[in-house]
C-alpha cells in the first residue's frame, strides 16, 4: 500500500503515528504558548504566558503551511498575567489570569485586517479567583495552588475551571467548574461591576484540576480531563513506591445531561488506573477512598463503598495513565477540503484530519514530572465509542517523542499543552509551552493522490451522522462571528 505524502518537514524531536496524519511546526519564536483558539482559517490567537501574559495572533497568510515572523501580531501586551484560558464568542474574546476573567472587544474588520487587530482595553468581568480572595479560605491567603483558569463557551454559558489549592485539599470548595451566562457577562461594563467568582453557579464539584475542557458538538455536553493528585498511600492496594507510578488515574469526565452541581470525587476519592488484582484492584476507573500522609479521609466518614456509590460520586467515563497531565482537548469533526473561497489552502499541508476520527477526542498530555519512568508528552486520540476502560483499547498515540518507546521525553524538550481543530480547514493546532512552538496536525495524502482526489474522496462519503456533526461545527463557528 502506498505510504502517506506530507510536504512538510515534520516536527523536530517528535513523530506521528499511523499513515493517516502528518505533523509540522506551524509557528516558532513564541515565549510560553498555552491556550489557543481559532479565529479564522489558519489563524489562531495564542495565550503567551511569558512577559506578563500576552495575546499573540498567529496566521498563515500565504498558505505555505507555516506562520512566518511577519505573519503574527501581538494583539494585547498588557501586564494582566494572562496565563492559559482563552475563548472567542461573537465579537468578544475572553482571557483569564489566575485572579480574573477579562473581556476584549474584537475590532471592526478583525477577520480580514490582521495587521491592525490590536485589542482595546479589556473589561474585568469575573474577579476573585486567586490567592487572597474568597476563593481561598482565610489563613490560606498566600496559597496560589493551581493558577490556570480554563475557559470554555457553550449553550450560552461560559464555563470556568479552577484547580485545587494544593496536592490534596481538605474539601472540594475550591476545585470546581463554575458557569455564568454570557448575557450576564455582557452586562458588566466596568471592573467595579465584575461578578465575584464564588457567587457563580457550581456546575461540577470535586474536580481536582480540570484543565482540559471541550464541548461535544453533537449534543452540547461539556467534557473535561482531570489532573489527579500525587502521593497516594494505600498499603492494602500496593506499596507506595509502586502504587504511585500508575495511580491515581487521570480522569475523563462528562458533565452534560445531568443537573449541575454533581460531585465527582475529589478530594475524598481517587480513580484506579492499574492496581494488581492480587492487591484488590477492581479495574480502571474504580473509586477508592484517599489515604495519605497529609489527608486520610477514611477518618472523616468516607469509605471505599461510599466512593463507589454512584449516587455519591459520579465516576469518570474513561481513565488515563497517571501523571500524563492532560491540559487540552478538542472533539474532531469531519471537514471537507477547502472550497473555492479557500482555494489557496488546497495543498497537502491542509488536508483535513480523517473523517474516520469524527467525534473522537484529541487530548494533549503535558507529561509527568515525578514518575520514575516519564509518561505523557504527546497528543492522543480517544475513541469514545469503545466501551472498554482499558486505555490501550480506546486511546491511540497521534504525536509523540521520536524516542518512543525508550523514552516519552522529546529531545527538543517539547511538551504539548492545548489542542484545537480549525473548523474551516479541519487541521489541528498544538501548543508547546517549553519550546515556544505551535504544531499543526493534518491528514495525509496517499502517495500519488492530489488534493482534488482527497476532496472527491471525502464529500460523497459523509454519513448523515458526520453531516450533523459538520453542521454543528459550522453553526458553532458562525455563532462566534468569524465571518
Segment 317-324 shows an average pLDDT of 96
- Decide if pLDDT at 1 tops 50: no
- Decide if pLDDT at 407 tops 80: yes
Residue among 29, 11, 3, 24 at smallest CA distance from 428 = 24
Residue 112: the pLDDT is: 84
Share of the chain above pLDDT 90, in %: 73
Categorize the per-residue pLDDT at 464 as very low, low, confident or very high, splitting at 50, 70 and 90.
very low
List Cβ neighbours of 25 (8 Å cut-off, separation of 6 or more): 9, 11, 12, 66, 437, 438, 439, 440
Residue 343: the pLDDT is: 84
Segment 364-384 shows an average pLDDT of 96
Residue 291: the pLDDT is: 87
Residue among 382, 383, 376 at smallest CA distance from 246 = 376
CATH number at residue 196: 2.120.10.30
Tens digit of each residue's pLDDT (9 = 90 or more) over 30-40 = 999 999 999 99
Cβ proximity of 52 and 81 under 8 Å: yes
- Decide if pLDDT at 10 tops 70: yes
Categorize the per-residue pLDDT at 6 as very low, low, confident or very high, splitting at 50, 70 and 90.
confident
Give the chain's end-to-end CA distance (angstroms, integer).
Answer: 41
| Greater pLDDT, 196 or 478 | 196
**Poorest-pLDDT segment among 50-64, 105-119, 443-457:** 443-457
Tens digit of each residue's pLDDT (9 = 90 or more) over 69-127 = 999 999 999 889 999 999 999 999 999 999 999 999 999 888 888 878 899 999 999 99
Q: What is the pTM of this model?
A: 0.91
Segment 368-385 shows an average pLDDT of 95
Provide the pairing of β-strand 4-5 with 445-446.
Answer: antiparallel
Residue range(s) defining the domain that contains residue 16? 4-479
> Mean pLDDT across the chain, nearest whole number?
88
Categorize the per-residue pLDDT at 423 as very low, low, confident or very high, splitting at 50, 70 and 90.
very high
Categorize the per-residue pLDDT at 131 as very low, low, confident or very high, splitting at 50, 70 and 90.
low
Neighbours of 41 (CB within 10 A): 21
Q: Work out how many domains the chain is built from and give that number.
A: 1
Residue 483: the pLDDT is: 34
Cα–Cα distance, 145 to 164 (Å, whole number):
6
Tens digit of each residue's pLDDT (9 = 90 or more) over 236-256 = 999 988 999 999 999 999 997
Amino acid at each position: 500500500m502506498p505510504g502517506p505524502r506530507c510536504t512538510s518537514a515534520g516536527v523536530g524531536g517528535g513523530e506521528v503515528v499511523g499513515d493517516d496524519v502528518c505533523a509540522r511546526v506551524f509557528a516558532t519564536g513564541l515565549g510560553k504558548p498555552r491556550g489557543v483558539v481559532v479565529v479564522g482559517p489558519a489563524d489562531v490567537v495564542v495565550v503567551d504566558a511569558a512577559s506578563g501574559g500576552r495575546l499573540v495572533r498567529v496566521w498563515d497568510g500565504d498558505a505555505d503551511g507555516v506562520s512566518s515572523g511577519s505573519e503574527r501580531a501581538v494583539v494585547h501586551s498588557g501586564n494582566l498575567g494572562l496565563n492559559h484560558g482563552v475563548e472567542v464568542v461573537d465579537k468578544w474574546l475572553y482571557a483569564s489570569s489566575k485572579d480574573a476573567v477579562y473581556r476584549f472587544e474584537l475590532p471592526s474588520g478583525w477577520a480580514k485586517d490582521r495587521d491592525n487587530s490590536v485589542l482595546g482595553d479589556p473589561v474585568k468581568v469575573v474577579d476573585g479567583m486567586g490567592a487572597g480572595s474568597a476563593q481561598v479560605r482565610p489563613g490560606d491567603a498566600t496559597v496560589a495552588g493551581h493558577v490556570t483558569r480554563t475557559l470554555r463557551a457553550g449553550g450560552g454559558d461560559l464555563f470556568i475551571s479552577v484547580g485545587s489549592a494544593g496536592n490534596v485539599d481538605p474539601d472540594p470548595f475550591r476545585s470546581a467548574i463554575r458557569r455564568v451566562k454570557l448575557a450576564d457577562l455582557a452586562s458588566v461594563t466596568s471592573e467595579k461591576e465584575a461578578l465575584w467568582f464564588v457567587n457563580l453557579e457550581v456546575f461540577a464539584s470535586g474536580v481536582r484540576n480540570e484543565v482540559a475542557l471541550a464541548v461535544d458538538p453533537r449534543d452540547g455536553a461539556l467534557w473535561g480531563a482531570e489532573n489527579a493528585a500525587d502521593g497516594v498511600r494505600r498499603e492494602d492496594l500496593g506499596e507506595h513506591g509502586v502504587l504511585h507510578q500508575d495511580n491515581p488515574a487521570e480522569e475523563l469526565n462528562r458533565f452534560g445531561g445531568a443537573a449541575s452541581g454533581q460531585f465527582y470525587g475529589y478530594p475524598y476519592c481517587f480513580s484506579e488506573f492499574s492496581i494488581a488484582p492480587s492487591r484488590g484492584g477492581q479495574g480502571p476507573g474504580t473509586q477508592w477512598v484517599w489515604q495519605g500522609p497529609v489527608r486520610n479521609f477514611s477518618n472523616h466518614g468516607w469509605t471505599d463503598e461510599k466512593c463507589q456509590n454512584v449516587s455519591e460520586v459520579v465516576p469518570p467515563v474513561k481513565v488515563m495513565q497517571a501523571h500524563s497531565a492532560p491540559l487540552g482537548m478538542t472533539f474532531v469533526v469531519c471537514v471537507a477540503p477547502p472550497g473555492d473561497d479557500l482555494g489557496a489552502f488546497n495543498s497537502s499541508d491542509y488536508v483535513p484530519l480523517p473523517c474516520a476520527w469524527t467525534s473522537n477526542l484529541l487530548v494533549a498530555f503535558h507529561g509527568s514530572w515525578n514518575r520514575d519512568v516519564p509518561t505523557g508528552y504527546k497528543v492522543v486520540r480517544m475513541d469514545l465509542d469503545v466501551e472498554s476502560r482499558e486505555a490501550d483499547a480506546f486511546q491511540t498515540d497521534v504525536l509523540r517523542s521520536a524516542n518512543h518507546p525508550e523514552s516519552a521525553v522529546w529531545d527538543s524538550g517539547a511538551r504539548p499543552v492545548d489542542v484545537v481543530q480549525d473548523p474551516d480547514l479541519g487541521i489541528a493546532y498544538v501548543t508547546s509551552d517549553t519550546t515556544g512552538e505551535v504544531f499543526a496536525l493534518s491528514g495525509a495524502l496517499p502517495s500519488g493522490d492530489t488534493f482534488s482526489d482527497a476532496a472527491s474522496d471525502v464529500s460523497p462519503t459523509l454519513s448523515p451522522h458526520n453531516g450533523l456533526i459538520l453542521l454543528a461545527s459550522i453553526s458553532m463557528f458562525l455563532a462566534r462571528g468569524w465571518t
